[in-house]
Amino acid sequence: MSAAEQHSDRVAPAATAQTARRGTGRFGSILSLDDLEPAARRRLPRPIFGFISGGVETEWSVRANREAFSQWAFMPRVLNDVSERSARQPLFGREYDAPFGVAPMGAAGLAGFRADLALARAAAHANIPFVLSGSSFIPMEAIRAANPDTWFQAYLPTARDAMAALIDRVAAAGFETLVVTVDVAVSGNRENNVRNGYSSPLRPSLRLALEGLRHPAWLAGTALKTILTDGIPHLENAAATRGVAVLSSRAARTFTRDSMCWTDMKWLRGRWKGRLLLKGILSPADAVMARDLGMDGVVVSNHGGRQLDGAIPPLRALPGIVAKAGTMTVLLDGGIRRGADVLKALALGADFVFVGRPFLYAAAIGNEAGVAHAIDILKQELRRNLALLGCNAVDEVASRVVRADAGFPVLQHEAGE
């Protein structure tokens, strides 16, 4: 039996939908995705919470991601029969129960016990897509066993042989969709990590120990439980073999990928036989490059404001990219907190959207049941908003969205936006 299979055998059975519904009572004060952040702040040590919530430098892009949605408003229609409305949405030949999924988030296991599994299983039960981060703590093989529809996100190594070995492992594990993050030539300037005492790997210190003692629920329910159950966590999926330990006084990681270029993506397109998406696209010119290389899709993203401060919000970049995408699927992440945000992004041309931080906060405070609750909140908001807009399906929403400051209808896929 492989290490991944042994790990999978140790994992507790997945919660049923009935369990998730029973868990709603635990989260009675969590009425929106925004409510998850302060709850997670109370539970998590400052270094861990700061790592998840923070951006880079002035955090302009973090704020701009949210503010971009306020530039658009709804013009509802009334007296339409919406009793048969549905938020279901097709993507890559499969119909999902909602037009949003769970974005890849690295080091999720620092926030909650086996958080990657909690996210994967909650997504499977809710019938929405889940993308596993390459910077995750549980072997990709175990995650795919828990959720066979999981996509895999990679930070590719620059050496061609190491790149080949990683994608061959992903293929052997049975993943059909590979998402390559391309906006990390070097690591962003995360000053907040330094101020909060976070590093990767985490360095044992008195400060870190005191933070754990100040947050006993996290210390017992996440840190100690992980170590006692699985040992010191490692980066399991960053390469073809097991990576560095997450807690170490001497191990080091490198994020430099400044030599990677479009030639590598051309080689990758020839090597990877499944669906291939590039994540971190903000320029229409880059969308054209991806299209011409035969990519199946792009994710319009500024890495949640965690790479280049001042990078354009994905929602602002979206229409111009859609105009150049051709037959590629266009996805978006960044700043989505409400069902209304999901609908605005779809109205501007996104085929699907992905949500990150709120779902990880949910895993931190409630594991799989917490994530299920968060997903249900967003689903309910979507159904409610469709009814109030006078729509029966998400593809009807584009005609209901106007500029908040001008009041004229969106020209869907407008290139100049």
Is the CB of residue 370 less than 8 Å from the CB of residue 360? no
Site of tokens 């997670």: 40
Angle between helices 46-53 and 206-214 (to 10 degrees): 90
**Angle at Cα 349 formed by Cα 342 and Cα 68, nearest 5°?**
55
Report which of 6, 103, 17 is spatially closest to residue 360, judged by C-alpha positions: 103
* Torsional class of 326: left (φ above 0), alpha (ψ -120 to 50), beta (otherwise): left
Pairing of strands 352-355, 401-403: unpaired
Given 125, 303, 373, 413, the catalytic residue: 303
Cα angle value 47/53/56 (rounded, 5°): 90
Distance, CA of 395 to CA of 163 (rounded, Å): 38
Cα separation values, 356 from 5, 40, 59, 144, Å: 27, 14, 17, 19
Whether residue 55 contacts residue 306, with contact meaning beta carbons closer than 8 Å, is answered with: yes
- DSSP element (H, E) containing 123: helix 115-126
Containing 72, the helix (H) or strand (E) segment is: strand 72-74
234 assigned to active site: no
Active-site positions? 303
